[in-house]
Amino acid sequence: MKKLAVVLLSALVLMACGSTEDPGGFTENLGPIDPNLVGALESGQDPSLVPETQRNFLSGCVMGATNRMPDLVAVQETGLLKVCGCSYMKLVERVRLDAAAVADPITSSSDLERDAYKRFKKLDEEFQATEGSFSEELVELFASCIRQTSS
């Protein structure tokens, strides 16, 4: 399971922020998601109004994982969509908590959100700079999504 988590983690971050334009946040540049990725969205989330960062992340996660593990059966059958969706949500929650933990009490919610997004982007940059090296804590975050979606 740890190996699968590392493979997914690598694939996830590859395209997390990959865009010609910096969307600037977790809720910017709403647009439609690829129909094949709709299963990765939260229940009730409108597939025609998905933020660019989330679209990029989910695309990188699913496509990166299937390219790295060519013996995977159909994406719907593997639970990969749910793992990718869970991983995105947990990672965003994690960077938001980290940003809040170091902020002073008078920091505005928009400043907290900008800091969280910067942390998210930094993870992507660190991945690219270190050729896929991540902390055990992040690997465990993704492994927890694998366990959660397989039960």
Higher pLDDT pick, 2 / 139: 139
Tens-digit pLDDT profile for residues 3-17: 555 555 555 554 444
Q: Which of 120, 100, 121 is nearest to 110 (CA)?
A: 100
Are 140 and 7 in contact by the 8 Å Cβ rule? The answer is no
Tell me, yes or no, if the pTM score tops 0.75: yes
Q: Which of 116, 5, 16, 4 is nearest to 58 (CA)?
A: 16
Give the percent of the chain with pLDDT over 70: 70
Tell me what the mean pLDDT of segment 101-128 comes to: 87
- In angstroms, rounded to a whole number, what is the distance separating the alpha carbons of residues 44 and 10? 28
Higher pLDDT pick, 66 / 39: 39
Q: Which two tokens stand for residue 127?
A: 């991945």
> How much is the CA Rg of the chain, to the nearest whole Å?
15
Tell me what the mean pLDDT of segment 42-53 comes to: 94
pLDDT class of 139 with cuts at 50, 70, 90: confident
| pLDDT at residue 18 is higher than 50 | no
User: What is the model's pLDDT at position 122?
Assistant: 87
Alpha carbon 107 to its chain centroid, in Å, reads 25
DSSP state of 35: G
- Identify the weakest region by mean pLDDT among 48-57, 79-88, 93-102: 79-88
DSSP state of 48: T
Q: What is the dihedral of CA 17, 142, 90, 101, to 10 degrees?
A: -90
Distances (CA, A) of 34 to 10, 41, 52, 79: 21, 11, 12, 17
User: What is the model's pLDDT at position 131?
Assistant: 64
